[in-house]
Amino acid sequence: MTTARTPSPLLGGLAPDAFMKRYWHKRPLLIRQAIPGFTAPLSRDALFAMAAQDDVESRLISHARKRWQLEHGPFDADDLPPLSRKQWTLLVQGVNLHSPAVDALMQQFRFIPDARLDDVMISYATDGGGVGPHLDSYDVFLLQAHGKRRWRIGPQRDTTWLDDVPLRILKHFEAEEEWILEPGDMLYLPPGYAHDGVAQGECMTYSIGFRAPLEQEMLQNFLYYLAENAPALPFARHFAGRYADPGQSAVKHPAALPDAMIETLVSQLEKVRWGQKEVEDFLGRWLSEPKSHVFFDPPESPLSVTRFVREAAERGLALSPKTQLLYRRNQYYVNGEPLDVPASARSTLRQLADRRRLNAGECANFEQKDQEIVEILYDWYASGWLQLETDPKPPLKLRAVRKKAKK
């Protein structure tokens, strides 16, 4: 993991803290040979195979005769246009969840909090392919992985969208800068900065994207959190009874909402209280929750606890790419669940959260006194949340899947 003050080729020779101060959320940065000699870790065929899985989000975008078309996957090989056809793009989301090599690439961007880091999307395009000039609502690093792509960018003033197209494409795009990116080159763009990328020949671009939830979305989910956890929250004692109106008089207008009921609810809502502790707990659960299409692969024949400990001491352990482990002080959250962690296990779990792995030497220190941490880690291993390092699994696990209906 990159340290905050170490200059990095990934950021054009800037240290991560310098990049964050000068560019993050502020202005674009073109980085030539961010990863020198970069070779795409996932082949075109492997990407197409991934797009056929029903637990992978994929989209097919084509532009012909001035018409844009959008289809949602999964896509079998015969669903895709021929490679000889120009101006089509396959977008595959969350590739880091299914390819260890792509996940390792994403780890290089962990100088930004995991709570903000989202996923790696791969864009495969034939000559002339692209998704049109557009804006993203989040920060993004665009790493050229194969072939060439011409990028035009500009601080868009007119955000009018084209009518009658299935994509949000700017109607009056104005570019101020233009470059051709080759493998290893990377472009950083802050939110709201207009850009248009067009493939020059066959190409693949990796988009490292970040979570930027709407404030309304955060508020809505926090209110859901309060409702779901109300019995355990301090204000719950005010809501032990049931609505009653012993002073209600007979009415002439039975369809009118009664004043007593409105006043009672207003009074009760004024008793609802929350503080930083509740906000921290909500964010830990919500931000570590896997996306709805993500599911884990438990081992078909789990090792015994004794064998697991022995193997971990020889091979080390790593979180599944699909696992999100966050913490705040001494409270830990894994895949949407709060975790009570005994004091003896906190240091180990913090190392695992920050590095996403424990080496063999660290695992060799598990002794009888560390039984609590062994129980936690073994449970995660049996659930598919944690894996033994150098686990002999193919980079892309293809499953026999049921074909979803096209949207």
pLDDT at 260: 92
Mean model confidence pLDDT for the chain: 92
pLDDT at 232: 78
pLDDT in tens, 89-114: 999 999 999 999 999 999 999 999 99
pLDDT at 367: 65
pTM > 0.85: yes
pLDDT at 26: 97
Confidence of residue 77 (pLDDT cuts 50, 70, 90): confident
Burial class of 349 by CB neighbour count within 10 A (0 to 12, 13 to 18, 19+): buried
pLDDT beyond 90 at 269:
no
Percent of the chain whose pLDDT exceeds 70: 94
pLDDT in tens, 380-391: 999 999 999 975
What does the domain layout of the chain look like in residue ranges? 9-210, 275-407
Q: Take residue 327 and report the two structure tokens written for it.
A: 């913490």
Architecture of domain 9-210: Sandwich (2.60)
What is the C-alpha separation between 44 and 68, in angstroms, rounded? Answer: 23
Q: Take residue 110 and report the two structure tokens written for it.
A: 């962990």
The residue type found at 54 is D
CA distance to 11, 13, 17, 283, 396, per residue, from 6 (Å) = 10, 9, 9, 30, 33
Confidence of residue 392 (pLDDT cuts 50, 70, 90): very low
pLDDT beyond 80 at 262:
yes
Burial class of 176 by CB neighbour count within 10 A (0 to 12, 13 to 18, 19+): exposed
pLDDT beyond 70 at 393:
no
Assigned CATH topology for domain 275-407: Malonyl-Coenzyme A Acyl Carrier Protein; domain 2 (3.40.366)
* Average pLDDT score over residue span 221-241: 82
pLDDT beyond 60 at 331:
yes
- Rounded to 5 degrees, what are φ and ψ at 40? -55, 125
Confidence of residue 368 (pLDDT cuts 50, 70, 90): low
pLDDT beyond 60 at 407:
no
Confidence of residue 316 (pLDDT cuts 50, 70, 90): very high
Confidence of residue 394 (pLDDT cuts 50, 70, 90): very low
Confidence of residue 133 (pLDDT cuts 50, 70, 90): very high
Q: Take residue 278 and report the two structure tokens written for it.
A: 């509740």
Confidence of residue 32 (pLDDT cuts 50, 70, 90): very high
Percent of the chain whose pLDDT exceeds 90: 82
Burial class of 350 by CB neighbour count within 10 A (0 to 12, 13 to 18, 19+): middle
What is the C-alpha separation between 198 and 153, in angstroms, rounded? Answer: 12
pLDDT beyond 60 at 404:
no
